[in-house]
Amino acid sequence: MTLLSVDNLKTSYGPVNVLAGISFDVAPGETYALVGESGSGKTTVIRAIAGLAPAQEGSVKFDGQQIRGIPERSLRPLRKDMAMMFQDPVGSLSPRMTIGKLITEPYKIQGMRDRDLDAEAKRLLEMVNLPAHFANRYPYQLSGGQARRVGVARALALEPKLILADEPTAGLDVSVQGELLNLLNDLRERLGLAMVIITHNLSVVKHVADRMGIMYLGRLVEEGTTETIFESPRHPYTRCLLSANPEPDPDARLERIALKGEPPSLLNRPTGCEFRERCPFSQNICTNTPAWETSDGHGHRCLAPLT
């Protein structure tokens, strides 16, 4: 069963093709992590899914319905089932609205006039472990962690089927990060919530994601279950990325695989394998263009995959 199905999604801003064909599926109740270099297009993917960024080609099916390029008017009712958690926790909250107004705004937008908004605000604050009197506060009175939780409350107000979370724990300390991830996990278990989560924190991915996709220059270069990817990455970029994760132990001796050079310009994509100029394992055949190959649900885009 598939809740979200993204197929060959492409986005260009003028001559810059930010997404060069992205395909992945998310099942109900599943957590899918998107990781990759800054600028590889992760945020554009989820914004394009939510209809907040343009996508010129490809398809996005949500609950079986094609939603790419449909007018805002048709998209709005679907937003009940698909919520976004934005990257900047304080910046995504209007500074002139109280927390109570902010977390019940989704009901107003969806025209649910029969709801008792005060009661809903109380329920939502309780759900994210914030005291009820926070309903009267303004965003500037919140800490980063509290603002994140307000973002969660807002995203969950309408009990969506899917959450698109862009760096939901960036800048949070480990304890608050744990609280937030546990809260999302609890909702996943109770409501069957599916999630697409973007994060730079590979330790978080390891613990919360069922499957993960690794992006490089606007394409997926590898995809599979989190366990498989961490245990036996096939694409050299994935291997470099995983080897970079710093360990909280001063005596840890990490075998880092250094990435050469800088990410290439999207205006001037390399020929052949787009990673080959930076790849520590590149070979002669890498001047050819690699196709997406998959076996047992583990896919990669590499002509000389690691074993």
- Contacts (Cβ under 8 Å, ≥6 apart) of 203: 245
**182 scored as a contact of another protein (CB under 8 A):** yes
| CA-wise closest residue to 216 among 302, 293, 280, 298 | 302
240 binds another protein (CB under 8 A): yes
55 close to 134: Cβ distance less than 8 angstroms: no
Distance, CA of 198 to CA of 193 (rounded, Å): 16
Q: Determine, following the binding rule CB under 8 A, whether residue 245 of this chain makes contact with another protein.
A: yes
The DSSP bridge partners found for residue 95 are none
Based on the shown chain and the rule CB under 8 A, indicate whether residue 66 belongs to the binding site for another protein. no
x/- track of binding to another protein for residues 93-122 (CB under 8 A): ------------------------------
**The residue type at 36:** G
194-198 and 31-36: which strand pairing? parallel
| Least CB distance to another protein at residue 94 (A) | 21
How many whole angstroms separate alpha carbon 108 and alpha carbon 1?
32
Which residues within the stretch 184-223 sit at the binding site for another protein (CB under 8 A)?
Answer: 185, 200-204, 206-208
Closer of 252 and 291 to another protein (Cβ): 252
The answer to whether residue 171 forms part of the interface with another protein (CB under 8 A) is yes
Select from 105-113, 172-180, 287-295, 298-306 the region that touches another protein (CB under 8 A).
172-180
Contacting range for another protein; rule: CB under 8 A; set: 11-19, 149-157, 175-183, 289-297: 175-183
Amino acid at 54: P
Do 4 and 168 contact (CB within 8 A), yes or no? no
Q: What is the binding site for another protein (CB under 8 A)?
A: 35-39, 143-145, 170-179, 181-182, 185, 200-204, 206-208, 226-227, 240-241, 244-252, 254, 256, 259, 261-263
